[in-house]
Amino acid sequence: MKYSPTEALARLIGRIARMGQKYGVEWWILVAGAVIILGVILMAVFAGAIAPYNPSDQNTGPQLAPPSADHLMGTDNLQRDVFSRIIFGARTILGVAILAAIISSITGITIGLISGYNGGAFDRLLSLIMDSVYSFPGLILAIAFAAMLEPGIISITFAVAVIYIPTYFRLVRGQTLTIKEELYVEAAKAIGAPGITILWKYIFPNVIATTAVVFTMNVGDAIMIEAALTYLGLGLPPSVIDWGMDLAMGKKFLPSGQWWLITFPGAMISLLAVGFTMLGEGLSEILNPRLLER
């Protein structure tokens, strides 16, 4: 070990600060987003250790108790601890959103690369289909899918993943179309490099930067859509601990003054989405060469 853990941390912070000076505010936005996301991920991973109670335990304390030292976020009507449910709920929402984004990106990028590179009637047809889906309100399509399938992690991940595929497709296909006209690609073709090699070695690396930004935005959107679906009662069975579902269950207690049941799930959804959006914004500003002009 060259440096001790604290020293390593100090060097990391120093590095981050220097980059901040170089890139300005945008960098700090990115860092803020990353910190939020990291925080929630750690919370999800170490849920078992952090949560004071079992989230399904129906005997943790008084019914519908406001936040207190014992129950940082209060209890619900089944006497479960809200704070523990929030901590474990992070797993569900992060899991679904990230998984959906991964599926979405892999599918969209692959199809986009192939279609853009090969061109022809197939490409035009596919573009048309993707454009149509892209223009349609994503949430409504997700609702339709989630409603038709049996509630479960697979169904909701599928519903959330499908609607973002056109975004990746359009982005990647557009860039593929441009790049494939480049001289070095022609050269590669001339020496007989197979299509896949060209795609993988030349085109894909160029596409990655913008795709990364879209990926973070995708996860942010996926979080919102997952929460909206479960809020509407679609997609997941109630036995899974989820922020959107807790929000829906808690809202009927609002006029009785039990505000903590909806405030915390809502705040967490917003916070997590903000985190990913800030990461995406920061990333796009930095990777975008026009930044230097501003």
Partner 1 sequence: MKNLLRYIIARTFLTIPMVFILLSIVFVVIRVMPGDPVSAMLGGHAPEKVIEQKKEELGLNKPLIVQYGSYLWQICRLDLGNSMIFKQRVIDTIGDKLPATIELTFFGMLITLLVGVPLGAYAADKRRSTQDYSIRLYGIVIYCIPVYWLGLMLQMIFGIWLDIFPIAGRTGARVFVAGFDKTGLYILDTILAGDFAALWDVLIHLVLPSVTLGLTLSGIFIRLTRANMLDVLKSDYILAAEARGIRHHRVVYKHAIMNAFVPILTMMGLQVALLMAGAVLTETTFSWPGMGRLLLERIYLRDYPTIQGVIVIFALIVAAVSLVVDIIYALVDPRVRY
Partner 2 sequence: MKSFKLIFVCLLTLGIVFLASNSFARDTLVYGTTEKVTDMDPANAYDFHTWEIFYNIYRGLLGYPPGKTNLVPELAESYKVVDEGKGYVFKLKPGLKFSDGTSFDANAVKWSIDRVMRIKGDPSWLVTDFVERVEVLDKNQVKFVLKNPVAYFPALVATPPYYPVNPNVYPPDKIVQDPSALKGGKLVGLGPYRAAFFKRDQEVALELNPYYVGEKPKNDMVIIRYFADATTMRLALEKGELDFAFKSFNPSDISDLQKMSNIKTIKGQGPYIRYVCFQNNTEPFTNKIVRQGVAAAINRPDIIKKVFLGQNEPLYSMVPMGMWTHTDNFKEVFGDGNIEKSKELLAQAGFNETNKLKFDFWYTPSHYGDTEVDMAAVLKEQFEATGVMEVSVKSAEWATYKNNWKNQLMPVYLLGWYPDYIDPDNYTAAFAGTAGSRGNGIYFSDPTWDAMFVEEQKTPDESAREAIFKKIQQMWTDEVPTAPIFQGSLYLFAQKDIDGIMISPTLQFIYAPIEKMK
Instruction: Give me the residues that bind partner 2 (CB under 8 A), please.
Output: 56, 58, 63-64, 77-79, 151, 233, 237-239, 249, 251-256, 258
Token couple for 196: 């896949």
Whole-number minimum distance, CB 238 to partner 1, in Å?
Answer: 15
Among 9, 10, 42, 129, binds partner 1 (CB under 8 A): 129
Binding mask 259-278 for partner 1 (x = CB under 8 A): x--x---x--xx--xx--xx
Number of H helices, E strands in the chain: 13, 0
- Name the binder of 256 from partner 1, partner 2, none, CB < 5-8 A by kind: partner 2
Determine the interface stretch with partner 1 among 10-18, 65-73, 190-198, 248-256 (rule: CB under 8 A).
Answer: 248-256
Q: How many whole angstroms from its chain centre is CA 141?
A: 18
- Name the binder of 6 from partner 2, partner 1, none, CB < 5-8 A by kind: none
Residue 161: its H or E element:
helix 153-162
Whole-number minimum distance, CB 8 to partner 1, in Å?
Answer: 31
For 266, other C-beta atoms within 10 Å of its C-beta total 18
Q: Could you give phi then psi for residue 75, rounded to 5 degrees?
A: -125, 160
The verdict on 138 binding partner 1 (CB under 8 A) reads: yes
Whole-number minimum distance, CB 190 to partner 1, in Å?
Answer: 34
Could you tell me the sign of the dihedral formed by the alpha carbons of 226, 255, 85, 32, in that order?
A: positive
- Name the binder of 238 from partner 1, partner 2, none, CB < 5-8 A by kind: partner 2
CB of 121 closer than 8 Å to CB of 136 = no
The verdict on 108 binding partner 1 (CB under 8 A) reads: no
CB of 96 closer than 8 Å to CB of 244 = no
Residue 159: its H or E element:
helix 153-162
- The span from the CA of 43 to the CA of 51, in Å, is 9
Question: Of 169 and 204, which has the nearer Cβ to partner 1?
Answer: 169
Q: Could you give phi then psi for residue 81, rounded to 5 degrees?
A: -80, 125
Question: Of 96 and 179, which has the nearer Cβ to partner 1?
Answer: 96
Cα diameter, the chain:
75
The verdict on 128 binding partner 1 (CB under 8 A) reads: yes
The residues binding partner 1 (CB under 8 A) are 25, 128-129, 131-133, 135-141, 143-145, 147-150, 220, 224, 227-228, 231-234, 247, 251, 254-255, 259, 262, 266, 269-270, 273-274, 277-278, 281, 294
